[in-house]
């Protein structure tokens, strides 16, 4: 699979999806990374100042660890990975075998509402992505 290069057009389409589906909703920051820890794209609400590169490296490691633990207990994968804090939360969702969507959001958004929107965003991103690989 050639996921190493994405066209400008595709990135713009993905950015639009992230903005309309998640940032608009009130999510602070959304990052798409690959499992090696590279950032594909990052979008924020203009206020958050996260160090997204370190974040991506740690998130890829975190997800890979959880995936390995799933295999140890005989699960194909744990589909929900969510960290809850007092003020901010992090939600991880797999787009495909190589890509991960990470949303950072505050306490004003409910997890269920976020998940619904993440699922829709992922469906749309997959379509853009598949266009890349045919």
Partner 1 sequence: MSFINLKDKVVQVKIVYYGPGRCGKTTNLEYVNRKFRNQIQSEMVSLKTHGDRTLFFDFLPFDMGQIKGYDIKIQLYTVPGQVKYNATRKLVLKGVDGVVFVADAMEKQREKNIRSLNQLHENLQAYKESIFKIPLVIQYNKIDLKDHGVPVLPTAVLRKDLNSRLRVPDFEASAITGYNVAATLKKIISLTVVSIQKKLL
Secondary structure element (H or E) that encloses residue 106, with its range: strand 99-106
From residue 5 to residue 34, what is the string marking binding to partner 1 with x (rule CB under 8 A)? xxxx--xx---------------------x
| Count of residues engaged in binding partner 1, rule: CB under 8 A | 26
CA distances from 129 to 98, 107, 121 (A): 11, 31, 12
CA–chain centroid gap for 88, Å, is 16
- Token code pair at residue 102: 């990470």
Cα distance from N-terminal residue to C-terminal residue, the chain: 10
- Can residue 70 be called a binding residue for partner 1 (CB under 8 A)? no
- Can residue 131 be called a binding residue for partner 1 (CB under 8 A)? no
Q: Are 91 and 103 in contact (CB under 8 A)?
A: yes
Which member of 18, 23, 30, 40 binds partner 1 (CB under 8 A)? 40
Give 14 or 118: the residue with its C-beta nearer to partner 1. 14
- Can residue 96 be called a binding residue for partner 1 (CB under 8 A)? no
In angstroms, what is the minimal distance from the CB of 53 to partner 1?
5
- Can residue 61 be called a binding residue for partner 1 (CB under 8 A)? yes
- Can residue 74 be called a binding residue for partner 1 (CB under 8 A)? no
35 vs 106: CA distance, rounded Å = 25
59 vs 18: CA distance, rounded Å = 18
Contact residues toward partner 1 (CB under 8 A) are: 3-8, 11-12, 34-41, 51, 53-54, 57-58, 60-61, 64-65, 68
């Amino acid at each position: 699979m050639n996921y190493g290069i994405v066209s400008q057009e595709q990135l713009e389409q993905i950015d639009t999806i992230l903005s309309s589906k998640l940032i608009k909703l009130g999510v602070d920051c959304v990052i798409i990374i690959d499992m090696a820890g590279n950032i594909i794209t990052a979008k924020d609400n203009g206020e958050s100042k996260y160090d997204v590169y370190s974040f991506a490296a740690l998130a890829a490691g975190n997800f890979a660890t959880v995936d390995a633990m799933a295999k140890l207990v005989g699960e194909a994968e744990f589909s929900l990975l969510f960290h809850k804090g007092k003020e901010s939360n992090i939600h991880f969702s797999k787009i495909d075998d190589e890509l991960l969507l990470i949303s950072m959001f505050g306490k004003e958004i409910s997890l269920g509402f976020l998940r619904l929107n993440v699922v829709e965003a992922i469906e749309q991103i997959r379509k853009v992505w598949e266009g890349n690989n045919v």
